[in-house]
Amino acid sequence: MKKGNILVVDDNRAIRTSLELLLPLHFERVITLPSPKELHDTLRRNPDLDVVLLDMNFHAGINTGGEGLYWLREIKKIRPTLSVVLFTAYGDIELAVTAIKDGATDFIEKPWDNNKLLITLQNAVQLSRNSQKINALKSLKQEKSEMFWGESPAMQALRAMVEKVAPTDANILILGENGTGKEMLAREVHLLSRRSEEQLVSVDMGAVTETLFESELFGHSKGAFTDAKSERAGKFEVASGGTLFLDEIGNLPLHLQSKLLVAIQSRAVVRLGENTPRPIDIRLITATNTNLEAAIAEDRFREDLYYRINTFVIELPPLRERGDDIVELASLFLVRYAKKYGKSCSSFALSAIEKMKNHIWSGNIRELQHTIEKAVILSDKNEIRSDDLLLTKSNSGGNSGAFATGAMTIEQMERTMIESTIRACGGNMSDVADKLGITRQTLYNKLKKYSL
């Protein structure tokens, strides 16, 4: 099958005529030019070109190849991914080396061998198209990425590490408080990985009930239990070939951790109701706000599972430690929500900036995002002022004690109680739920409700 569009630039009419007879038998389209003077315009009018077969000399008596090198550089300025094969009657290895360094794909001597010429051009077509695909994928990744790195030293160091680790298949454990962006970071790692064309499958381990754990993660066959009316692949199988992100892994009960460990170690799962292991190929990313080393010491987390998931540990800093990143993030959210709600507000008053900088942000990025969204909705001005930022006093200034604000709504009291209990329990959500007398699922619902 014919594949590739070729542009021939040669001042020798006999050569152009020969190539006009030979090349159309093997390529989709062939254009010939007697002079490189029309190169710029031809490239612009033909964006689907794959290869330029370029003569090295265009003036009688000049055989240095300098003209060819000049036009090679011009082509690369306009179309960096376009393959250029140089055509010369003078075999000069030094010239060939210079041309390759300047971006030439290959070098053909005149008179040429037809088979060698065709193979060279076909390889150049494939190289050009592969380069275009790679560039397109890079652009796609950049478009999809929502990660805001900021300029704080902690985030820049973290970014450098992520860019080194992401292209590998190493297991990653992401640590950080609620709302710091652990799931977004997992998505960024996936986008930067070799598996970016495949799925990223996310599982909130705190929201998976114990009775459905194996079914959700490993799948089940038809009739495996009462409501299993059809067979179903689990999250491990769905993520095979891509990335599996297990969020809040620190909340997984101890007796289920062993089942997870077996699947991770064996790289295979057995569906409920079956006996045959199914191989899986995943890149594993996990996340938690729990101190897993303390949980291991208290026999709440398996040490062997911990070392299996933490080939690399990436810890996201809380928002309060990111300095000027707070205002930059707020500005990004301001643009997003002003556009979403059709508002004219486009900046922050100095008083609002100071208020944001002095706030503790216990809910981190999620709290900041919701705060800016509410401010945009309520504001009728061109700038967001201090009074537009509805912040809970328990998180600002020196008023950090529970119920220190006097008159509070029931919701404010509930939020404050949850916050103080989280601090008292060191972020262990199971203990928090027990102390508050609610289920973990109810606790997670309230965390989302209050942007904690």
* pLDDT mean over 347-374: 92
Position 163 confidence tier, pLDDT thresholds 50, 70, 90 = very high
For residues 99 and 97, give the distance between their C-alpha atoms in angstroms, rounded to a whole number.
5
Position 403 confidence tier, pLDDT thresholds 50, 70, 90 = very low
pLDDT digits (tens, 9 = 90+) for 280-324: 999 999 999 999 999 999 999 999 999 999 999 999 999 999 988
Average pLDDT, the chain: 86
* pLDDT mean over 106-130: 89
Position 408 confidence tier, pLDDT thresholds 50, 70, 90 = low
For residues 366 and 235, give the distance between their C-alpha atoms in angstroms, rounded to a whole number.
26
For residues 376 and 379, give the distance between their C-alpha atoms in angstroms, rounded to a whole number.
5
For residues 434 and 164, give the distance between their C-alpha atoms in angstroms, rounded to a whole number.
40
Q: Say if pTM beats, i.e. exceeds, 0.75.
A: no
* pLDDT mean over 139-158: 78
For residues 313 and 374, give the distance between their C-alpha atoms in angstroms, rounded to a whole number.
34
| Residue 12, Cβ density class (10 Å: 0-12 exposed, 13-18 middle, ≥19 buried) | middle
pLDDT digits (tens, 9 = 90+) for 59-77: 654 455 577 888 888 998 8
Determine which of 52-61, 127-136, 250-259, 402-411 has the lowest per-residue pLDDT on average. Answer: 402-411
Structural domains in the chain, CATH included, are: 5-141 (3.40.50.2300), 153-317 (3.40.50.300), 322-449 (1.10.8.60)
For residues 242 and 199, give the distance between their C-alpha atoms in angstroms, rounded to a whole number.
5
